[in-house]
Amino acid sequence: MKTHRAALCLGLLASLWFSSAEAAEPRTLRDIEYARVTDKPLLLDLYLPAPTNTALPLLIYVHGGAWRSGTKNDVPILPLLENGYAIASVEYRLTPEAPFPANIHDLKASIRYLRAKAGEHGYDPKRFIIVGSSAGGHLAALVGVSNGHKELEGKVGKFLDQSSDVQAIVSFYGAANLQTILKQSTSRGLEVRVPALQLLLGGQPDEKPDLAKLASPVAQVDKNDPPLLLIHGDKDPQMPIEQSYELQAAYEKLKLPVQFEIIHGGLHGGKEFYDKQRMDLVDQFLKKHLR
């Protein structure tokens, strides 16, 4: 009997140890429905580092793809998990399905959802950072500089009582001014940008000037906007680096915190944008501004 009890105790202790060890490991929660539009579920993936006693900042990642393609499965900033960030990678309606501002409405709905669920997952609802690459960089910047903008908030999702504000923005080679982008583009850039803008706006920027302005982060910057980190290659054949210069200038005009990292010889993305040097740069920028 004693031997049987001892075996039971050892089994229980082993079970508790393995459960505790598993709980202490990083976790990935996939295909969480954050909202629904008609019958379409909108999903996100949540990457959580090993639990700590401190609520962690949350990076909300927006994938690229000329607004018309791409997937939440492409998350090049995942190394930042090791720096103590939780990461949400969010899908949104693409332009073949729904034009602007549907993508912004979806992203803001995801932020409201994530804020409502902060206590459940252990990240800090007061330290949300939106990050995006290429078209995702444009959307991230627009979300970040339009805190409280009624026309861009939308009414997607169930958590309309929550704020969609973010406390910092990181844009990797994103658009900033749709009113000037075509004039700045190379012939290669125009091949990508003209059809992409047609789907995004339902016309070209000169045909839809009010909508192009609404979709341009430079036109929405105000004195209350959060710190901004821009990362862009000076040989980008698709997204003119002048776009990032314009957003930097809009921030500097209002004396807002902005940092611009130029990757000399950098093209449109690539491993050098997400290597340890640049991930450390992002980490240092956020630690400086989100203490």
> CA–CA separation, 288 vs 51, rounded Å?
23
Query: What is the CB neighbour count within 10 angstroms for residue 100?
Result: 24
Cβ neighbours of residue 101 closer than 8 Å, sequence gap 6 or more: 151, 152, 154, 214, 215
pTM of the model as a whole: 0.91
Q: Are 214 and 181 in contact (CB under 8 A)?
A: no
> CA–CA separation, 148 vs 145, rounded Å?
9
* Domain 26-289 -> CATH class: alpha beta
Reference 176, options 211, 133, 142; nearest CA is 142
Helices 135-145, 102-116: axis angle to 10 degrees equals 60
CA 240 to chain centre: 20
Q: Are 217 and 275 in contact (CB under 8 A)?
A: no
Q: Which of 22-26, 57-61, 124-128, 180-184 has the lowest mean pLDDT?
A: 22-26
The residue with tokens 């075509």 is 182
Higher per-residue confidence, 122 vs 23: 122
DSSP string, 268-281: SS-GGGSSHHHHHH
Mean pLDDT (whole number) for 34-57: 93
Give percent of the chain above pLDDT 90.
85
Residue type, 162: Q
Reference 90, options 165, 33, 52; nearest CA is 33
Q: pLDDT per residue over 119-131, tens digit each?
A: 999 999 999 999 9
